[in-house]
Chain A
Amino acid sequence: MRVGYYPGCSLHGTARELDESLRAVAPPLGLELVEVNDWSCCGATSAHATSHLLSVALPARNLALAEEQGHDQLLAPCAACYNRLASARHAVACDAALAETIEDVLGRPFPSTVAPRNLVEVLRARLDLLRERAVRPLTGLKVACYYGCLLVRPSEVCSFDDPEDPVSMEEVVTATGATPVAWRRRLDCCGGAFSVARTGSVVRLSRAILDDARSAGADAIAVACPMCHSNLDFRQKALVRRGEAELPVLYLSELVGLALGLDAETLGLGRHFVDTKALVERALASKPGPAAKPGPRPSAPAAAAKPASPAAAGTEAV
């Protein structure tokens, strides 16, 4: 399965391990990631705080490039990039005048045929392969799935899961053999881009998230956003109170990689601020499981098989 790949700026910088782990898990999951040639920044937080037109035009340019290069889907592993791409596409679909302006600005036609995909969506669409190839199931590992704010909201833009009570990340984590924990703050904001401008706010918000995950008994937090990762991982040193254990924060692709039997270095697990060694050792110690496990499956594949749901139909195509 060939998918357009839009790493975005962060995957070339602070989130290199997301890029590395994703490229590593792609082949066993039957994905061929083709990086879009000549991609540019999505505009991130700055563009839409400055100019609406710019905030649509920048992502639209990347979607148009993907289109020209023959893709019908574009994977943006960064939740912020995904949100910008999806928002731009939605804005153009809702506003014919804007659609015309965008074509003028881009200087190329923009029929908007490319569907932006996020990390969770793409992994969830390959659960069967993941279950089959999970040679090192992460049995016993308790994971708090953290969606943050940009992955599932606003609902009219990101319609792949319930905006207030999503399940897709938990489905992926379950397929790795780990156990998702029930906790409250999985959709709360970590402070996002205020990490530098208002560190105090970020510390307060991120601490609440870490506290809640810890009290729910999680061994690790799974994320699908470089900004969330940065706030929870990089800031954690400053957040932990005396005597508190640190909580490793892993990208969903890293967890998937561990379950697929890939080694820590390939997955970029050495790049974290919070030490992941103990967790990796625990994963390595787990018995190599039979590839395809019998027993009841979570409801995800059944739900994805329903052609009635447009969201499910969309993910099937991934």
Chain B
Amino acid sequence: MAQDEERERPLWEVVPLEERELPRASQASQARRRWQALGRWLTLGSEAGEEPARDEAQLRRLPRVRLANLAPPIDWQPGARALAHYLAEAGESAGPVTLLVGAPADGHAELVEAWARLNGARLLPEPAAAALLAGEMPWSPAPSAHAWAVPRLERGFLRQATSLAGLRNFLEAALTGRLGRGVIGCDSWTWAYLQHALALPESAAVTLQAFDGARLTRYLAATTRAAAARTAGEPPAILAVGSGEPVLADGDEASTSRELRELAAHCHGQLGLAWHYWRARLCDETPEGEAPDTLWLAESLDEATLPGEVGEESVLLLHTLLLHGGLDEALLPEVLPFSHARALSGLRQLQRRGVVSCDAGRWRVAPLGYMSVRRLLEERTYLVDAL
């Protein structure tokens, strides 16, 4: 019965922000994580306890080509359809503007873009940095019969007084309906910040329902089957390195493998983040060129680790990157109380540890460093997101 009910629940579901259910880790896995954290704390962040298990040493991580087939980038279209379904159900009660809030690696921008394509909505381009610094409204769509979509609200402001005023003007106009109907994608950290700074109404915010262990299993099993179908072969068995049991056991949350339950809980139910961990943990033991029937899921999370004692400037850098959903190098001095050179030096140190990454001059917290950074900011009592 429970399995049937589980299967009846849609895989992709958009819900009001306050109705998102965080997957819970079992007490044993929480205790194990705390023990590892204590070890890191006592050893000032050294790599103690992070040695791979003996059997993992015999395995090798999957090559990129095989990963591209077996765990391709997430297709957010079903999420976009779930958003369209939610908006259709909500009707006028959704208000003129709906904000889709998502954690940094959880695809809110891709989902809003997909929604715009599905519904023929206008995609509003990102504003120029000069306009943000001048305090201009980042977007000012003319009201029309067609809805508009902003995939990344976080690109529409900088944390400085002038720019904040520009964003306030935009959101006031949007939320009162003066700009017509629209959907805004918003990073969960930006949302947390703007809720404090601009007192945004929570009722306007929706999010993807969290992917608990069962949902994650269904998603990963489907992508593995689809990958096998593309090569006209059988899907490989994926076994846990620790137990040797299959990790993609279909069923309800209780019958889900411990590995995927823990992964879902560790990632706070964020599919985009879990996907990064999944790719990083898949291993095989076959020489290159042969497609093995059995793959292994490594026990270790392979996360980027922070140093034992993180200085204040690094903390401010990481917090700033998260609040802005990543930042262009040139804009760092506009939002940080220290020089460009010091900011870059700090970022490069964090980059060497894999905590941040830089893509075409834009810095962001790396997906496999995100949970460590979030824990650090929470411990230091900085503002953190709700997801």
A and B bind: no
Residues in A lying within 8 Å of B, measured CB to CB? none
Residues in B lying within 8 Å of A, measured CB to CB? none
